[in-house]
Amino acid sequence: QKEVEQDPGPLSVPEGAIVSLNCTYSNSAFQYFMWYRQYSRKGPELLMYTYSSGNKEDGRFTAQVDKSSKYISLFIRDSQPSDSATYLCAMGVNSGGYQKVTFGIGTKLQVIP
Amino acid sequence: DVKVTQSSRYLVKRTGEKVFLECVQDMDHENMFWYRQDPGLGLRLIYFSYDVKMKEKGDIPEGYSVSREKKERFSLILESASTNQTSMYLCASSPFGGGTGNTIYFGEGSWLTVV
């Protein structure tokens, strides 16, 4: 079993829809959680960072963490064609002086105008 | 804004050539990383460094080496390029501190094709 599971998609939605992207994980030691957006042939860019269970909102994006269920989500409201990209979840732990971050495989999202 | 710069965006090299991928970050970050990204496999960590002249193997170090002579610069070296090293290579850095100091910042990527 992988430490982090993420459905690769692709996921196609109409413009204006609410998008839900999810990851599950098995390592209860993870301390912080991130979501990245990656456009084609570009590097990933950070969207959201959180370290506690609950919701964190930033504009049209909401990150949700449920540590008891080992489940994180990213919601995109009023989705736009410019949101078409691959979304990667990432989970990290700092241990023994090292930073260890594990990434999901990424979900490819297409928002249809 | 944090800037991680990878000097080469697109490279084509021949099998057996020695390849250098250079990366510079401008935020005085302690940690630097090299990943490769392949379809269906996601991001895989090759090497990382938590200080100048320090390096640690990641999950797939075979066929690669790294150099970190200055804090801001982290180089990935393919000693003898092979076709199975054709991939997108991503450099990243993080300040490795409290709060959002754990955030990893990526460069734009270097697309390497080995023929």
Subunit contact B90:A99, Cβ cutoff 8 A: no
Nearest C-alpha of chain A: how many angstroms from B38? 10
- Given a contact cutoff of 8 angstroms between Cβ atoms, the answer to whether A56 and A67 are in contact is no
CB contacts < 8 A, A to B, total 52
pLDDT in tens, B59-103: 999 999 999 999 999 999 999 999 999 999 999 999 876 556 688
Average pLDDT of chain B?
A: 93
Report chain A residues whose CB lies below 8 A from the CB of B99. Answer: 51
Nearest C-alpha of chain A: how many angstroms from B72? 18
pLDDT in tens, A65-85: 999 999 999 999 999 999 999
Closest residue in A to B5 (Cα) is A43
Give the closest residue to A106 by CA, choosing from B102, B110, B66, B35. B35
Helix (H, G, I), strand (E, B) or coil at A15: coil
| A43 token code pair | 């590097």
Subunit contact A97:B50, Cβ cutoff 8 A: yes
Give the closest residue to A16 by CA, choosing from A79, A69, A89, A65. A79
Chain-centre distance for alpha carbon A90 = 7
Nearest C-alpha of chain A: how many angstroms from B66? 18
**In this structure, are strands A45-50 and A107-112 parallel, antiparallel, or unpaired?**
unpaired
- Given a contact cutoff of 8 angstroms between Cβ atoms, the answer to whether A1 and A26 are in contact is yes
